[in-house]
Structure 1
Amino acid sequence: MMQHTIITIGRQFGSGGHEIGNKLSERLDIPLYDHNLIRMAAQELRISNEDATKVDETILGRFLSAYASSSLEYRVFMNSDEAGKTLTDRVFDRQSAIIRKLAEEGPGIFVGRCADYVLGDYTNCINTFIYAYKEDRIRRIMKLYKLTEKQAADKIRKTDRDRKNYYEARTKREWGGIDANSMMFNASLLGIDGVVDALEAIYRKWENRE
């Protein structure tokens, strides 16, 4: 039975959730899993790493559906217990299995990928959701992607919609809802480092509890 602690991070686009995960990983010296989970699943399904780097949770289904329609290689390597499932479902299943395996092996931080749902049976999970004020998110995305204010706002709206649809279709839970998360952090109020400080303290206390 898993004894070590896992942190899952759900996040609004532009809230700094990924940066928080990176900094927390360095502070705690535990691995961070995010886009690399997609690459692991893609390798198992014989999808090239080059193609896999182009996808994340917001466009996974659309990408894989297009890939499946033109790829015979995948069908050759498909397991018998995967027959009848859509390619999107099979990738989600593979990704979920990888998440569970990594969680069993040691502590880690999982960003997105419905990890809070996938690890729902584990009692040693700290499930978090990071959000921020819209103005701060727009400024952050403008700076990161060199976009205009309108472009940044449009990108935030679309990405959040895609993340919400992906999460809710897979989990039947409300994306960003309190029922799915142990705690929620407003990065606009606490700042990136403030959220990292809080999660570090919670993690260390969690690890040292009787």
Structure 2
Amino acid sequence: MSKNVIITIGRQFGSGGREIGSMLAERLNLPLYDKNLVELAAEKLDISEDTADSVDETALSGFLSTYAYAPGTIMPYVGRVDYLEPINDKMFYAQAGIIRELAKKGPAIFIGRCADYVLDGKAECLNVFICADKADRIKRTMELFDLTEKKAADKVKKMDRERRYYYETYTGKDWGSVGSHDLVLNVSRLGMERAAKDLELIYKGMIED
């Protein structure tokens, strides 16, 4: 009898983790949740999608931009000082709730957003981390965003730093380590197609076990 298994994919920037998730979703006929989680969280929080996107998978936003209310907003007087919850935290908890609800509906693939941690103990998961050699990630970023090598290298460094801090801030675990994931795959060694194919075989073995 087939079991419901969730696939979570963490990834270094420029490694192709999102593309591997898309290939895997097509191979396995599973729903894929990535940027669409931003739209769902924005709707839940009643904020603009642009605002939600600006703090998605980051805990490093500037002081003023991390609050749900714009500077100068007059808050209702309640007789005491209220400390506003950073919108980064609001986004994390909103997406976490959405991920748990979606996971209850059946098998799916979740990209990033600490989904492995969010679903720990609440669903059977295959937790994967996708990495690649830095030179390959810079080259891929140059091609995808039409950047110079220097700007691509800076973007890779910045995005990796933000994703690491985001993951470790909310989970207390090491981002990208074998201790935090079931599988760590280097796409520079395997290639995207091979990585997707291997994950497909592993997943099928899990649901039929």
Same fold per superposition (TM over 0.5)? yes
Q: Is 120-129 or 193-202 further displaced after alignment?
A: 120-129
Shift of 1:180: 1.2
SS in 1 for 2:173: coil
- What amino acid does structure 1 have at the position aligned with 2:109? I
Unaligned runs of 5+ in 2: 77-82
- Deviation of 1:123 after TM superposition, in Å, equals 5.0
Equivalent residue number for residue 10 of structure 1: 10
Matches within 5 A, 1:1-210: 3-58=3-58, 61-62=61-62, 65-70=66-71, 85-209=85-209
CA RMSD in angstroms comes to 2.3
> Residue 18 of structure 1: CA displacement?
0.5
Report which of the two structures shows the higher radius of gyration computed on alpha carbons.
2
Q: CA deviation at 1:37?
A: 1.1
Partner Cα separation in structure 1 for residue 121 and residue 145 of structure 2: 38
Deviation at 1:87, TM superposition (A): 3.3
Distance 1:64 1:7 in 2: 32
- CA deviation after TM superposition for structure 1 residue 72, in Å: 6.1
Provide the rounded CA distance (Å) in 2 between the counterparts of 1:130 and 1:180.
Answer: 13
Deviation at 1:89, TM superposition (A): 2.1
Q: For structure 1, which segment, 176-185 or 46-55, has the greater mean C-alpha deviation from structure 2 after superposition?
A: 46-55
Change (3 A) 1:72 1:38: farther
Q: Tell me, which stretches of 5 or more residues in structure 1 are unaligned? A: 77-82
Amino acid at match of 1:69: A
Q: Once the 2 structures are TM-superposed, how far is the Cα of residue 41 of structure 1 from its aligned partner? A: 1.1
Amino acid paired to 2:161 = R
Cα distance in structure 1, aligned partners of 2:47 and 2:6: 28
- AA aligned to 2:32 is L
Work out whether residues 6 and 109 of structure 1, in 8 Å CA contact, stay in contact via their aligned partners in 2.
Answer: yes
How far apart are the structure 2 equivalents of 1:71 and 1:182? 47
Query: Is contact 1:7-1:108 (8 Å) kept?
Result: yes
By how many angstroms is 1:25 displaced? 0.7
Deviations 1:44-98 (A, max 9, x none): 111123443444213685585254234969x89xxxxxx8744332322111110
Give the TM-score taking structure 1 as reference length: 0.87
Change (3 A) 1:84 1:54: closer
Cα distance in 2 between the residues matched to 1:144 and 1:56: 20
- The TM-score with structure 2 as length reference comes to 0.87
